[in-house]
Structure 1
């Protein structure tokens, strides 16, 4: 677009900000920039480097797409998301932007065609996988092409401590060395201070301006429940609150992914598996169905999700504890990208803590890496066990102060704490009296006075602690033990059948020198159906019966149109735009053009069809 005669916005014709706003409105159909978008665009247009931290759904892509359209040359987008490049290019084509990609899925002739267009200045944006970008052939091509900018998407992939490390990202510093006068913009949705520092160091962005938007996603409700029967709890949650909605369920293992998808399908929910052990063709087919169809639930390992632009994912569920808050926030951020209310739900239990700690301890990584991962896990456990607002806890982790949200589980149903010193002493004493040689189940049987064959075999019914915890259920003791492990008062010896061990810190508690507060156990409750509650910064648009009828008709039209164009439905229009069309029911192209998300190209492509549909629905 920056090289075409009818859209050549030079700095002489108007100010940069006016050009940027004009493009935002006419191409993308949005009335105004959000948050820091306008400042970022202007900075990059004038040749400045930038590091942009903006939550998922915050509009990061516009921060490099619009500067690429204004500056001379082609914008090069470095992205690890080969499986999604076609959809990204298709979405840009729908709004009239000339885009292409270069990756390993293409034939040699297709690659030659894209390279020819790049040399001739016939493309606005080209998406390139980092592995291909760093080849000699690609670097030599870039040397002779007029480059507008480099956008390094998913920049957190450069962090060796992070949840999505990609070794090839470290070599992207070559862009600064070989193309020192081309502006670079690095973008990510989640990065703590350590990861930010690493991005700056690895990519040589020491002189870049940093734009850190609010990490808050007020439309997402965070809920962490006591795990009893995880799959059954998940089913209850989906049936009660998200029947017919699109969602993502994250599991730690490939086997659990497949079992969970099968379980949900058996109970009438269309669920698909996705993990790295599947054939690429099967993975691609399932991903395409998730993106193109409504009401699909994707059960996946963390191999799925980065870069997923589907705006109407209504929930993200975790059946296993994530390794870090960054990973958790990145994954939950895939819900509610359209600003509509969404849920981040997790079932969490003692086994999750044991499993994650074992994975770190048994890792072949060096001690420094293990130490960093342990700190990140402790922060994640602290979020799970917090007595305070979960949103405040998450935002504080990313260095952002906030007030209680009134929309997470701990705000809506505040947990209670109690002086858990005596309960802790009972657990610690029992662990000590069995010579720190037995796992959680046996220790809890002794506490509860359960005279099992194994207890008799070791004569543990004769211990002074036998039966001193008979007032609590097994689930209660498991919840208390989980908290002691999370607090570092009890360790698990994985080389000795997961035997519980006392730590140095436990001595002070056993002696009564330190008192500890613990979270009161709350029995897992069956999920109940309730009206989606608006977050403080988000008010869901309620449609009348007539408006809802039109909205449903528009969605059916979108499905058929998307199928004809072979693109995901949201690429045609997201739900938020269709909902606004249904509410306004415009009868002229001018009125339709005024709705957010309707740019010039989409007005030309679909305007008459939509007006005809509106008239037909009104007639009935």
Structure 2
């Protein structure tokens, strides 16, 4: 081993020091030992195998589930002067032959492949002829049938332990609860390795949830007031909704592109390319979009429908703010989301055990949504971490919700549900409690019930919030096979009988255009500094277009902010900036120094 890890970090990648457990993971791999690395998105997982690859003889083989992720990382490594390549079906045959030749000649330090490539005819035999330094299995949660991104081909990766027993294997993921973690270890044969848990906290992300009321209009207001010039991702449950929401946002003058599995491969590829290479593009997508997207400057991730569990929510929101700068995770949801998800969970292809686990995970997400506690505290607690009771960067911490004695309201709701035969949805029960005059109430004679008009002290929005919280607390069930009818759970009995009081969260309606907190707003020291940052982004974009690569492959926003702040005047000073290694200093230093000189006295 001729190159030291810290030298590789500073001279090649341009970072002054390792973060968290990176150095411990790297030392472990260099000792040729297996490991499972649990590290949040943006936490620097890739360095845990890229630096050992540079420090060890031979080639590191990185197994990744998506072509987009491979291409992003290869482009970024090539910018650093590292011999990296990807081998996948999107490349012409002659390009694949060129990569294989370089592999056999020992000219590559990192090779990215999909798991399918590993099991292509003759490929394992090809690798056996090479000096493989390590195997890195990225997005390792895909191996778990309990995980949210299960991929059957990952199950075959146990062959690595059999065929390459002396080559260390590093499994990496940003998302794994206890069952998934156990599955990864067992299926990949990592029982004799070590587990590195780097923590799930993303302190730069502000978590914000709101009750859904005209969701698309709420989303538009959020984007217009807080992210009018930022790139972002919006997640919706259905393809139809993706198309509708993308069209609506585009009508406001923004670049908003739909992405879902129903679009052709060429359209999806072009959409993804525009998102990576252009500024301020908004992608409206199903969950088909996102895994493997390395774009660091996504300033917001919004959900217009409820994710299916906490793992999905964490992974999807984790695509915001990978560069460590302030970002938002915004979610609007309603009772209808719960009914849809629970209906989708009735999957005959899944075992009863899996269906029960899916329901428990959804219940955990509902409790997260309806709780008055710190969002970050609840999120980290779900993943088994200790967390402070308040983070200061979520909606519940920034504007703590009030609570009220909801015992009487809950009793009214339970009684009304019981008196109507436990077969109607929240909308109809609310109509009864408010004393509405609807055809449905007249048809069933529900205007004669004792609970008719009994709940006029609360608004319709209040009742929607109350029903969501009762559902999240498990006091109500929702019919998944019929029309979303509500029924009582045994746990509501003490409340209904007056044996136990109940506190619920008061509904709060966010003010339109509400100012961001100082913690979540990018602040420049002066207008001149902001103008220089804008100019540096233009220089970066020009260089990126010349090479047909995403701008962040040249430099992250964080590095440009440092340039604008410190205004280096020499190549030596330029090389001291975070993210500026030797290769990039020599390649781009003069262009950026010239721009800085033009705006600085």
TM > 0.5 = yes
Counterpart check, 1:564 vs 2:546: yes
Residues 83-98 of structure 1 aligned to structure 2 (within 5 Å): 83-98=68-83
Residues 368-447 of structure 1 aligned to structure 2 (within 5 Å): 368-403=353-388, 404-447=390-433
Structure 2 equivalent of residue 142 of structure 1: 127
Counterpart check, 1:308 vs 2:293: yes
Contact in 2 for aligned 1:161/1:195 (Cα 8 Å)? yes
Q: Shift of residue 618 of structure 1?
A: 2.9
SS at the partner of 1:261? helix
Q: Shift of residue 582 of structure 1?
A: 1.6
Deviation digits for residues 44-77 of structure 1 (CA, Å, limit 9, x no counterpart):
0110111111111111101000101111110000
Counterpart check, 1:352 vs 2:337: yes
Contact in 1 for aligned 2:370/2:468 (Cα 8 Å)? no
Structure 1 equivalent of residue 515 of structure 2: 530
Contact in 2 for aligned 1:313/1:337 (Cα 8 Å)? yes
Q: Shift of residue 82 of structure 1?
A: 1.1
Deviation digits for residues 402-423 of structure 1 (CA, Å, limit 9, x no counterpart):
1110111101111122232221
Q: In structure 1, how many angstroms separate the alpha carbons of the residues matched to 2:498 and 2:124?
A: 66
Structure 2 equivalent of residue 5 of structure 1: none
Which residue among 81, 86, 89 is the counterpart of 1:104? 89
Structure 1 residues 356 and 478, CA gap change in structure 2 (3 angstroms): same
Q: In structure 2, how many angstroms separate the alpha carbons of the residues matched to 1:428 and 1:334?
A: 40
What are structure 1's unaligned runs of at least 5 residues? 1-8, 11-15
Contact in 1 for aligned 2:342/2:480 (Cα 8 Å)? no
Residues 290-301 of structure 1 aligned to structure 2 (within 5 Å): 290-301=275-286
Q: Shift of residue 532 of structure 1?
A: 4.8
Structure 1 residues 76 and 362, CA gap change in structure 2 (3 angstroms): closer
Counterpart check, 1:50 vs 2:44: no
Counterpart check, 1:454 vs 2:436: no
SS at the partner of 2:307? coil
Deviation digits for residues 86-116 of structure 1 (CA, Å, limit 9, x no counterpart):
2221111000000111111122222221111
Structure 1 equivalent of residue 19 of structure 2: 34
**More displaced 10-residue stretch of structure 1: 424-433 or 257-266:** 424-433
Q: In structure 2, how many angstroms separate the alpha carbons of the residues matched to 1:149 and 1:358?
A: 43
Q: In structure 1, how many angstroms separate the alpha carbons of the residues matched to 2:26 and 2:464?
A: 52
Q: Shift of residue 541 of structure 1?
A: 5.8
SS at the partner of 1:534? helix
Structure 1 equivalent of residue 228 of structure 2: 243
Contact in 1 for aligned 2:347/2:355 (Cα 8 Å)? no
Contact in 2 for aligned 1:558/1:573 (Cα 8 Å)? yes
Structure 2 equivalent of residue 490 of structure 1: 476
Q: In structure 2, how many angstroms separate the alpha carbons of the residues matched to 1:570 and 1:495?
A: 47
Q: In structure 1, how many angstroms separate the alpha carbons of the residues matched to 2:145 and 2:347?
A: 18
Residues 112-511 of structure 1 aligned to structure 2 (within 5 Å): 112-362=97-347, 364-403=349-388, 404-511=390-497
Q: In structure 2, how many angstroms separate the alpha carbons of the residues matched to 1:194 and 1:493?
A: 28
Deviation digits for residues 440-481 of structure 1 (CA, Å, limit 9, x no counterpart):
222111111112122112221111111111222222112111
The root-mean-square deviation of aligned C-alpha atoms, in Å, is 1.6
Deviation digits for residues 345-403 of structure 1 (CA, Å, limit 9, x no counterpart):
11121112222222213554111010111111011011101111111111111111111
Structure 2 equivalent of residue 583 of structure 1: 565
SS at the partner of 1:361? coil
**More displaced 10-residue stretch of structure 1: 105-114 or 539-548:** 539-548
Q: In structure 1, how many angstroms separate the alpha carbons of the residues matched to 2:481 and 2:55?
A: 60
Q: In structure 2, how many angstroms separate the alpha carbons of the residues matched to 1:352 and 1:371?
A: 18
Contact in 2 for aligned 1:361/1:370 (Cα 8 Å)? yes
Q: In structure 1, how many angstroms separate the alpha carbons of the residues matched to 2:477 and 2:592?
A: 62
Q: In structure 2, how many angstroms separate the alpha carbons of the residues matched to 1:560 and 1:144?
A: 42
Q: Shift of residue 505 of structure 1?
A: 2.9
Residues 584-599 of structure 1 aligned to structure 2 (within 5 Å): 584-599=566-581
**More displaced 10-residue stretch of structure 1: 55-64 or 507-516:** 507-516
**More displaced 10-residue stretch of structure 1: 37-46 or 414-423:** 414-423
Equivalences, count: 600
Which residue among 529, 533, 537 is the counterpart of 1:555? 537
Contact in 2 for aligned 1:233/1:526 (Cα 8 Å)? no
Contact in 2 for aligned 1:292/1:569 (Cα 8 Å)? yes
Q: In structure 2, how many angstroms separate the alpha carbons of the residues matched to 1:192 and 1:201?
A: 14
Q: In structure 1, how many angstroms separate the alpha carbons of the residues matched to 2:209 and 2:155?
A: 35
Q: Shift of residue 271 of structure 1?
A: 0.8
Structure 2 equivalent of residue 13 of structure 1: none
SS at the partner of 1:136? coil
Q: In structure 1, how many angstroms separate the alpha carbons of the residues matched to 2:595 and 2:403?
A: 57
Contact in 2 for aligned 1:341/1:533 (Cα 8 Å)? no
Contact in 2 for aligned 1:353/1:486 (Cα 8 Å)? no
Q: Shift of residue 499 of structure 1?
A: 2.2
What are structure 2's unaligned runs of at least 5 residues? none
